[in-house]
Amino acid sequence: MNRKRVVRRALSGRTEPVYLEIGVKRGAAFRGVTADQKIAVDPAFKIPALYRRLAEAKARETLYFEMTSDAFFANEADFLQERGVDVALVDGLHTYAQVLADVENTLRYLKDDGVIVLHDCNPSLESIGYPAESIADFSAQHHWWNLLWSGDVWKAIVHLRSTRDDLRVAVLKGDFGVGIIRKGSPDSRLPYTVEEVKALGYADLKADRRRLLNLKGPSYLREFLAT
């Protein structure tokens, strides 16, 4: 199960859906999504012309916001309030703080049956889960052959499962861990305070990742979307 398939499944059957993607990069995921309106947010788009054409062929309207996600949410509140968001993919800066901010901002505009998808929630190696402030920071501290980076995105999952009783949150196995979030009563919760979440390290994840992430097999997605 990968993030692209999860997004497509979450959009399936919706009428005139609005799709938001944070962290579009070269558009590898964005180009394959079909929706009525597609909103792309990235501080520095690097989307080839062909990918843009493919992306725009699968939407009535495609909108590009070349700015940070923080600036987007600060400046485009009316735009988002008018449309709402059916499905969002959050795949921007791979830090706990930024992913949490992106999720919480998206939730303000998420429709009642909407879904947020997160990438990079289950790093399999300590090097992949290394906490850094940016990809440049990460790259400077690792060898060129060891540059897969998920950062500490996984801590955003633990944070939400510890502090929110109005969200269903889980992580699907595959594709470095695909987080899924929607409104509703949680399957289970975690007991951590915010300070305790901040103090967690990769060793904690490695020792107890199934419980911390509410880690599920790919078949769980059908149940999650149907509820």
Model confidence at 76, in pLDDT bands (50, 70, 90)?
very high
User: Quick check: is 220 in a domain?
Assistant: no
User: Quick check: is 223 in a domain?
Assistant: no
**CATH number of the domain within which 193 lies:** 3.40.50.150
User: Quick check: is 219 in a domain?
Assistant: no
| Burial of 160 from C-beta contacts in 10 A (0-12 / 13-18 / 19+) | buried
User: Quick check: is 227 in a domain?
Assistant: no
Model confidence at 145, in pLDDT bands (50, 70, 90)?
low
Percent of all residues in the chain with a pLDDT value above 70, rounded to a whole number: 98
Model confidence at 213, in pLDDT bands (50, 70, 90)?
very high
| Number of domains the chain is built from | 1
pLDDT at residue 142 greater than cutoff 70: no
User: Quick check: is 92 in a domain?
Assistant: yes
pLDDT at residue 206 greater than cutoff 80: yes
User: Quick check: is 12 in a domain?
Assistant: yes
Least confident of 67-76, 80-89, 141-150, 183-192: 141-150
pLDDT in tens, 20-54: 999 999 999 999 999 999 999 999 999 999 999 99
* pTM score of the predicted model: 0.95
Q: Give the model's pLDDT for residue 144.
A: 60
User: Quick check: is 93 in a domain?
Assistant: yes
pLDDT at residue 148 greater than cutoff 90: no
pLDDT at residue 58 greater than cutoff 80: yes
User: Quick check: is 134 in a domain?
Assistant: yes
Domain of residue 104, residue span:
3-214
One-letter amino acid at 182 equals: R
